[in-house]
Amino acid sequence: MSNTRIERDSMGELLVPADALYGAQTQRAVNNFPISHQRMPAPFIRALILAKAAAAKANVDLKQISESQGKAIVDAAQGLLEGDFMQHFPVDIFQTGSGTSSNMNANEVIATLASRLLGEPVNPNDHVNCGQSSNDIIPTTIHVSAALVLHEQTLPALLHLVEVIERKAVEVHPFIKTGRTHLMDAMPVRMSQVLEGWAQQLKANIAHLQGLLPSLQALAQGGTAVGTGVNAHLEFATRFSQQLSSLTQVRFTPGKNLFALIGSQDTAVAVSGQLKAIAVSLMKIANDLRWMNSGPLAGLGEIELEGLQPGSSIMPGKVNPVIPEATAMVAAQVIGNDSVITVAGQSGNFELNVMLPIIAQNLLSSLELLANSSRLLADKAIASFKVNEPKLKEALARNPILVTALNPIIGYQKAAEIAKKAYQQGRPVIDVALEHTDLPRSQLEVLLDPEKLTAGGV
């Protein structure tokens, strides 16, 4: 029994695996693009299948296809989503810049399944792709897939991270540590103030990201080939968005200008830019954790991160800050993804951007990486670290920068002399100040109290 069958398209005959649900155009793409051996991301394919179901429902409403054809297409799409659908989508990320190969892959697979359900032919182009072009369905799918991952994964993960940080800030509020600027000793801060700073960074980034959702949820669908809407019903864009909103429980709307949404990917570039900003924040938080955890003897040793695994194949007992390290690598990757999207976003040549698949891949990669790493950072690093209070107190007692509090009384120059002597002699600043000023110890203890130097203990 042959393991192939013959399929035909407008370019002629082609051998396709006998058990494949896809047809000739998908097979041509498989043959033409053996480049990365990476398929389009699963969230993208999921969104594309949902878009095909929404299109079928809209086309039935508008009497562009029969009710039985529409039902078969919707049922086929639903069946795919309930199973291991990725096995039917073999097209490489690096393919035609419009994503036509992925669009036809979906059309062919759904048409095969719909034909079986209906008992008569359902055509990939005439029925499944009715009212659509790759040039509007792929930009639409980029927006839909990114919006769904944002709503379902990334935003909940970032909000969870903020919640964990704020909860930990309350827990560590009593602890005061040496602040650092330029990695050098500075005025004291509360541990809670450090964490509240992290939380505010993330809150601002979340607000900016949420502000982009209306643009991301505005769709190119209905523009077809170049934005004019040729071959699509005049009400198709509106009906499509309504049906997709019903299927996903996320409110999608037709774009105000379909030429812009097909010819450019500015919204994807903007979202990616905001994801890069989040990556920068996570890099800062991860590195703060690594520095505070460093040592434990020869480093700062201010906190102890949860020990998760042996840190060395040769040095027994070594434990490394693996979650912050992994988070920092995620941040680096997201920054790199943004560079790719920035270059790809410039490839809007006249009426179509021709780097759509790589925009989809990198945008979804960034969204999922940030979601997963944020939860790990929250639960396996921030929630569980312990404060080394003796180390904090030891460093504070020897911190000559506390003398800054004496500036209004003895002047900057005199304070600098005291600080230098304290450094040189390795003595507490209060002892040196007692010898070089007329201030009594009781007053110095009040002036140099680290708690009072952290904004009155607030």
Annotated binding-site residue? 101: no
Cα–Cα separations (whole angstroms), residue 66 to 63, 123, 127, 432: 7, 12, 9, 91
Q: Kind of pairing, strands 218-219 and 348-349?
A: unpaired
Task: Let me know if 326 is exposed, middle or buried by CB neighbors in 10 A (0-12, 13-18, 19+).
Answer: middle
Helix orientation angle between 266-293 and 134-149, rounded to the nearest 10 degrees: 30
Judge whether 172 is annotated as a binding position: no
Is residue 388 marked as binding? Answer: no
Identify which of 211, 183, 218 has the alpha carbon closest to the alpha carbon of residue 292: 183
In sequence order, the β-bridge partners of residue 17 are 4
Q: Confirm whether residue 320 is marked as ligand binding.
A: yes
**φ and ψ of 457, to 5 deg:** 80, 5
Does 126 belong to an annotated binding site? yes
On whether 133 is known to bind a ligand per the annotation, the reply is yes
- 347 among the known binding-site residues? no
384 is in an annotated binding site: no
- In sequence order, what are the beta bridge partners of 15? 6
Contact present, 358 and 342 (Cβ < 8 Å): no
Half-sphere exposure of 395 (CA within 13 A, CB side): 21
Per the annotation, does 124 bind a ligand?
Answer: yes
Q: For residue 90, say whether it is annotated as part of any ligand binding site.
A: no
CA distance 201 to 216: 23
Name residues whose C-beta falls within 8 Å of residue 185's C-beta, 6 or more positions apart in sequence. 178, 179, 395, 399, 400, 401
Tokens of 26: 């998908």
CA distance 209 to 150: 9
Comparing CA positions, the residue from 123, 87, 109 lying closest to residue 10 is 123
Residue 448: both structure tokens together? 């140099």
Residue 160 is inside which H or E element, if any? helix 155-172
Q: Is 19 annotated as a binding residue?
A: no
Q: What gap in Å lies between CA 456 and CA 190, rounded to an integer?
A: 11
Q: What angle do CA 127, 23, 83 make, to 5 degrees?
A: 80
Structure tokens at 420: 């230098």
DSSP state letter for 85: G
Q: How far is CA 457 from the centre of its chain?
A: 36
Per-residue tokens: 196: 């509240």
Give the residue numbers annotated as catalytic, written as ranges. Answer: 182, 312
CA distance 78 to 154: 25
The 10 Å Cβ neighbour count of residue 18 is 10
319 in a known ligand binding site = yes
C-alpha–C-alpha distance, residues 269 and 132, integer Å: 24
Q: Answer yes or no: is 125 a known binding residue.
A: yes
238 is in an annotated binding site: no
Is residue 145 annotated as involved in ligand binding?
Answer: no
> Helices (DSSP H) in 64-133: which residue ranges?
67-81, 100-118
Residue numbers in the known binding site are 98-100, 123-126, 133-135, 181, 313, 318-320
Residue numbers in the known binding site for substrate are 98-100, 123-126, 133-135, 181, 313, 318-320
